[in-house]
Amino acid sequence: MSSKNDWRAPRGTHDILPQDESLWRYFYETVEWRASGFGFGRIETPLFEAPEVFTRALGETTDIVQKEMFEVRRATAEDSDETSSYILRPEGTAGVMRAYLENGMQVWPQPVKLWQYGPMFRADRPQKGRYRQFWYAGFEVIGDADPTTDAMAIFLGWQILGDLGVRDAVVVDINSIGDAVCRPKYKKALLEYYEPLKDKLCATCQTRLDKNPLRLLDCKEEDCEKLKKHAPQVVDFLCQNCREHFRIVLETLDELGVRYELTSTLIRGLDYYTRTTFEFRIEDDERRQGSVGGGGRYDGLLEQFGAKSTPAVGFAFGVDRVLELMQEKRAPVPPLPAPDIFVVQLGDRAKRASFNLIAQLTDEGFNVTIQPGKDSLKAQLRLADRGGVRFAVIIGQREALDGTAILRNMNENTQETVDQSDLVDLLKKRLAEPFEQRERRIAEEGEDVN
């Protein structure tokens, strides 16, 4: 049975409409330009993967794995596929690691730097800035243990936020959560602190205590927040190597002028992080939208896939949140180029000729538009006017037969008959012509005004 709701986008998803195209495109092009400038290659992985890719990488006790994964299976029963159930990717790093191994990237010159862009899916409770399908721009540097690489990743994000005009609104929260050498000692200290306070914790944290005490620092419940304040701090437990690593990361960020705050409770929701963790946080985040991006070092992740230990660091932007911030801060976004030319066709023969003409004009790099469903000259010219195009090319029956066209300057309401073969050169000249030059030409040559 169909109801009105069947025709709505699913909860937590939204359409991206043409009026927002300039914003989305500007984000993508900026990221593409910066990422390739920093030597990152573009990777695309499937939207869904085998469940193990995520359960192994993210950790069984994480919120994403326990509560937020969407399952994909074939709708019909006769599925003979061995893996009949998949997971819609909730984040990008796990899939990229799977692709790194599957495509033999271990033998490429290291580090391998990859970036990706696309939708992610989490069965989160939707609210402003939190969607079930959200866009994600992720960056990974695989095969490099150097602490300056962590700083480079953060700096890349910092640069992109600067390019997009929102860097002043953002600060980098940063922490080190140690490694396999020092983290167990910290976990033990956390357990010792929280055990006697167990009754005061929220229900979720009570279950987290045994499985993954670090996650207690992530909790936003009021009572847990209070207890967090006096909990042991991870920096006091870092081993010599982790401390040295963190020192160099921070020194490099200082030199690069990145604004950061040491945040000892930042452990992030995923199990795969080691040492550096960071988030790009909105500074005056009254609506508590959370971070516009985040990441960290994940030296142990590839081992989870059964590969040899490979150091890596990465981060991702939540694109929807960055764009919301850009809109809030009224960051300037270049408008999309308006169409240059409207092709007006009058009659069947002209319509067919005009399609060829459009192909030819777009080959030359012009932005062309047409409304083949409209037949009257007046209606088409009105549309051309509303669309803000500078020139209309009018083809009627006669023009279609003798290979000519009427070139109409929409701003000046002037027109001339030209050979179709001259049209491209003429349009190039006219569209490139600066204002003063055009005024001079008109003064010298006159213009056949209709």
Please report, as ranges, the residues that interact with ligand AMP according to CB under 6 A: 91, 122, 124, 129-131, 134, 136, 269, 291-294, 316, 318, 320-321
Decide whether 129 or 339 has the Cβ nearer to ligand AMP.
Answer: 129
User: How far apart are CB 134 and ligand AMP at their closest, in Å?
Assistant: 3
Decide whether 186 or 317 has the Cβ nearer to ligand AMP.
Answer: 317
H or E element: which one contains 419?
strand 414-419
DSSP readout, 302-330? HHHTTSPP--EEEEEEEHHHHHHHHHHTT
Of the candidates 106, 253, 257, 238, the residue with the CA atom closest to the CA atom of residue 181:
238
User: How far apart are CB 136 and ligand AMP at their closest, in Å?
Assistant: 6
Judged on CB neighbours under 10 Å (0-12, 13-18, 19+), 83 is: exposed
Q: What is the maximum span of the chain, computed from C-alpha positions, in angstroms?
A: 93
Q: Which long-range contacts (CB under 8 A, 24 or more apart) does 190-197 make?
A: 190/214, 190/216, 190/231, 190/232, 193/230, 193/231, 193/232, 194/227, 194/231, 197/227
Contact 136, 318 (CB under 8 A): yes
End-to-end CA distance of the chain: 60
Decide whether 124 or 385 has the Cβ nearer to ligand AMP.
Answer: 124
Decide whether 245 or 321 has the Cβ nearer to ligand AMP.
Answer: 321
DSSP readout, 200-259? GS-HHHHHHHHH-GGGGGG---HHHHHHHTTSPPGGGG--HHHHHHHHHHHHHHHHHT--
- Token pair listed for 199: 């009754």
Give dist(CA 410, CA 384) in Å, integer.
Answer: 8
Decide whether 117 or 131 has the Cβ nearer to ligand AMP.
Answer: 131
**C-alpha distances in Å from residue 145, one per residue of 83, 297, 312:** 35, 9, 7
Decide whether 127 or 417 has the Cβ nearer to ligand AMP.
Answer: 127
User: How far apart are CB 415 and ligand AMP at their closest, in Å?
Assistant: 51
Decide whether 138 or 213 has the Cβ nearer to ligand AMP.
Answer: 138
User: How far apart are CB 289 and ligand AMP at their closest, in Å?
Assistant: 8
- Spacing of C-alpha 13 from chain mean position: 15
User: How far apart are CB 324 and ligand AMP at their closest, in Å?
Assistant: 9
User: How far apart are CB 61 and ligand AMP at their closest, in Å?
Assistant: 15
User: How far apart are CB 321 and ligand AMP at their closest, in Å?
Assistant: 4
Decide whether 62 or 354 has the Cβ nearer to ligand AMP.
Answer: 62
Decide whether 136 or 342 has the Cβ nearer to ligand AMP.
Answer: 136
User: How far apart are CB 105 and ligand AMP at their closest, in Å?
Assistant: 21
Decide whether 93 or 354 has the Cβ nearer to ligand AMP.
Answer: 93
Q: Which residue has the tokens 């190597």?
A: 241
User: How far apart are CB 402 and ligand AMP at their closest, in Å?
Assistant: 58
Our CA dihedral for 357, 358, 361, 364, rounded to 10 degrees, sits at -120
Give dist(CA 329, CA 321) in Å, integer.
Answer: 12
Give dist(CA 157, CA 280) in Å, integer.
Answer: 8
Q: Which residue has the tokens 């927040």?
A: 225
Question: Nearest residue by C-beta to ligand AMP?
Answer: 318
User: How far apart are CB 114 and ligand AMP at their closest, in Å?
Assistant: 16
The number of C-alpha atoms within 13 Å of 233 and in the hemisphere containing its C-beta is 10
Q: Give buried/exposed letters for 339-358 (b at 16+ CB in 10 A, else e).
A: bbbbbbbbeebbbebbeebb
Decide whether 90 or 147 has the Cβ nearer to ligand AMP.
Answer: 90
User: How far apart are CB 193 and ligand AMP at their closest, in Å?
Assistant: 26
